[in-house]
Structure 1
Amino acid sequence: MRIIRFLQSGGTPILAAVTDDSRVYRLPQNDFMELVREADEEGKTPLAWIQGIISSGEPIPEMLEELELVVPLEAAEVWACGVTYERSRDARNYEATGGKLDASTFYDKVYEAQRPEIFFKSTAARTVGPGRDLYLRSDSNWQIPEPELGLVLSREGRIVGYTVGNDMSCRDIEGENPLYLPQAKMWKGSCSIGPAIRLVETVEDPYSFQIVCRIFREGEKVVEGSASTGQLKRKLDELVSYLLRDNTIFDGTVLLTGTCIVPPDEFTLLDGDRVEIEIEGIGVLSNPVKSQVAGSIPV
């Protein structure tokens, strides 16, 4: 079971459930975390609560592909983890050493350390949904998408769902100095999530998600890579536990768990590219890429 939000005529977002046979059912709540709270109050899982609703309802006539999807939830905060995969560690080392192969840096220490790297990534105003434009940072010449599994968390830190995330990154800025990480990671239109939330109770093994990233340029596929969450260095609960340490999080906080798919070192995103990130069982998050134009990005 997946949860989506789509725009009805007039532009109002509608919360809906998508069954495994792709039928779409409208839900009475305005947002996903409201649904989770109501299910908790009734002592049910969100899946059981939804099944009770749709058992006496009818699906909408539109097909899923016909709907204009928006972010599945408006996450007040998006956090992200770094160097959680060996491939990510190697890429960070390459950036930090000016392109030396097999070089070791402090990123090796982060990869092996007890404490994971966790950083603030985005806010609701900076995060876009499926089909919306991502923006290139104007002062970077080496930018890539970072395909990641996202954890949707309750305010208590309970994982209630999984989504797809794109943690856009400036490899040149981060490689120049690790203290520049916020600038390498966070700007308007630098993060996308969606197209759906997969209910946690419908996933038998979150370490078996298959992730695929495709980048298209002028209609041609120029990059494709795949990975599995089974390659994660750390456990998901471990990452969440560090986010919660001496910290307050909001209902619907999203924690991106790191990337294992890095385009070739000579590659950078360009204006007009399109990024597709697919996680089996969740969906395909597709976003066009645009160059920054002063004053063109809504806050």
Structure 2
Amino acid sequence: MKIIRYQKDKDTQVLAAVLNDATVYPLEYTCLTELTEQAKHKGQTPLSFLKEQIQTIDPADVKLEELSLLVPIEAPEVWASGVTYEKSKEARNYEATDGKLDASTFYDKVYDADRPEIFLKSTAARTVGPNTDVYLRSDSNWQIPEPELGLVINKEGDILAYTIGNDMSCRDIEGENPLYLPQAKIWKQSCAIGPALLLAEAVEDAYKLEIICKIYRNNELVVEGKANTSQLKRKYDELVSFLLRDNEIFDGTVLLTGTCIVPPNEFTLMDGDLVEIEIPEIGVLSNPVKAPATKPVALH
């Protein structure tokens, strides 16, 4: 079972459950964490609680594809994991060594280390949902999407649901110096999540999820890649445990688990491109790409 949020009218946002047949059931709750807390109060799991709830609710007289979807959860913080896939390690090495792939770097050390790379990616104000523009950074010439599975967790670190994340990244800024990572990762509308939340209980095996990324330019497919979460080196609980170490997180936090799909090295996103990231069990996260109106003034 999936959870979505949509705009019903100018002043009304609705949380809803979506069944496998795409039937939409509006809920009385405002967010996933409120729903899971109510389920906990009643001594039920979120999935069993929802199944019980929809027995007393009439489905919405609207098709899922007609809804104006919102970001499925207003995550107070979005964190991200890096170098969790072999492909990601290779890409980071390429950036940091001018294409000399045989050169050993700190990325090799992170990939093999006990401690994973975890960094703050976004906040609620910087994060967008489906069909909303993601922005290019004005001072970068090499930018890509990073398709990732996202974990929706509560403050105790329990995985409540899964979603799709787009961790927009500047390969040239990060490759210039790893200390520039925050600038390579965080800017206005540089993170998208959605289109839905897949309840964790509804997933038979979260390490067998296919991830598909397609990038369109002028209505033509220019990049396509596929991966599977079975290729992930680290376990989800491991990533969550490091995020919680001596750290306070909040209900509804999203932790992105890293990417295994990297466009060709000669590719960079451009204004007007369209990024589609799909995990079949969750849906398709589609975002147009928009360039800033002006370039920054050069420093002298």
Pairwise TM-score range, normalised by the shorter structure: over 0.9
Change (3 A) 1:292 1:11: farther
Following TM superposition, by how much is the alpha carbon of 1:103 offset from its aligned partner in structure 2, in angstroms?
A: 2.7
Query: For residue 120 of structure 1, what is the amino acid of its counterpart?
Result: L
- 2:256 is aligned to 256
Instruction: Tell me the SS of whatever aligns to 1:172.
Output: helix
Query: For residue 155 of structure 2, what is the amino acid of its counterpart?
Result: R
Following TM superposition, by how much is the alpha carbon of 1:53 offset from its aligned partner in structure 2, in angstroms?
A: 1.1
Query: For residue 180 of structure 1, what is the amino acid of its counterpart?
Result: Y
Following TM superposition, by how much is the alpha carbon of 1:55 offset from its aligned partner in structure 2, in angstroms?
A: 1.0
Gaps of 5+ in 2: 295-300
Query: For residue 45 of structure 2, what is the amino acid of its counterpart?
Result: T
Query: For residue 162 of structure 1, what is the amino acid of its counterpart?
Result: Y
Whether 1:158 and 2:158 are equivalent positions in the alignment is: yes
Distance 1:2 1:80 in 2: 22
Distance 1:270 1:200 in 2: 35
Following TM superposition, by how much is the alpha carbon of 1:64 offset from its aligned partner in structure 2, in angstroms?
A: 0.3
Query: For residue 193 of structure 1, what is the amino acid of its counterpart?
Result: I
Distance 1:41 1:66 in 2: 34
Instruction: Tell me the SS of whatever aligns to 1:207.
Output: coil
- 1:283 is aligned to 283
- 2:32 is aligned to 32
Q: 1:62-141, aligned counterparts within 5 Å?
A: 62-141=62-141
**Could you give the per-residue CA deviations for residues 247-293 of structure 1, whole angstroms, max 9, x where no partner exists?**
00000000000000000000000000000000120010000000113
Query: For residue 258 of structure 2, what is the amino acid of its counterpart?
Result: G
Aligned residues: 294
The alignment's TM-score, normalised by the length of structure 1, stands at 0.97
Runs of 4+ in structure 1 displaced over 3 angstroms? none
Instruction: Tell me the SS of whatever aligns to 2:234.
Output: coil
Instruction: Tell me the SS of whatever aligns to 1:148.
Output: strand
- 1:297 is aligned to none
Following TM superposition, by how much is the alpha carbon of 1:10 offset from its aligned partner in structure 2, in angstroms?
A: 1.7
Distance 2:73 2:159 in 1: 14
Q: 1:164-243, aligned counterparts within 5 Å?
A: 164-243=164-243
Following TM superposition, by how much is the alpha carbon of 1:99 offset from its aligned partner in structure 2, in angstroms?
A: 1.6
Instruction: Tell me the SS of whatever aligns to 1:206.
Output: coil
- Alpha carbons 1:129, 1:194 under 8 Å: kept: yes
Gaps of 5+ in 1: 295-299
Whether 1:17 and 2:7 are equivalent positions in the alignment is: no
- Alpha carbons 1:148, 1:257 under 8 Å: kept: yes
Distance 2:87 2:224 in 1: 15
- Alpha carbons 1:143, 1:268 under 8 Å: kept: yes
Following TM superposition, by how much is the alpha carbon of 1:190 offset from its aligned partner in structure 2, in angstroms?
A: 0.2
Following TM superposition, by how much is the alpha carbon of 1:56 offset from its aligned partner in structure 2, in angstroms?
A: 2.1
**Could you give the per-residue CA deviations for residues 76-95 of structure 1, whole angstroms, max 9, x where no partner exists?**
00000000000000000000
Distance 2:218 2:270 in 1: 10
Query: For residue 57 of structure 1, what is the amino acid of its counterpart?
Result: I
Q: Structure 1 residues 275-284 or 6-15, which shifts more?
A: 6-15
Distance 1:162 1:128 in 2: 16
Query: For residue 44 of structure 2, what is the amino acid of its counterpart?
Result: K
Following TM superposition, by how much is the alpha carbon of 1:11 offset from its aligned partner in structure 2, in angstroms?
A: 4.0
Following TM superposition, by how much is the alpha carbon of 1:212 offset from its aligned partner in structure 2, in angstroms?
A: 0.2
- Alpha carbons 1:90, 1:102 under 8 Å: kept: no
Query: For residue 101 of structure 2, what is the amino acid of its counterpart?
Result: L
Distance 1:133 1:61 in 2: 28
Instruction: Tell me the SS of whatever aligns to 1:240.
Output: helix
Identity between Structure 1 and Structure 2 (%) = 68
- Alpha carbons 1:82, 1:116 under 8 Å: kept: yes
Root mean square deviation of aligned Cα: 0.7
**Could you give the per-residue CA deviations for residues 128-176 of structure 1, whole angstroms, max 9, x where no partner exists?**
0000000000000000000000000011110000000000000000000
Distance 1:282 1:293 in 2: 33
Following TM superposition, by how much is the alpha carbon of 1:102 offset from its aligned partner in structure 2, in angstroms?
A: 3.2
- 1:145 is aligned to 145
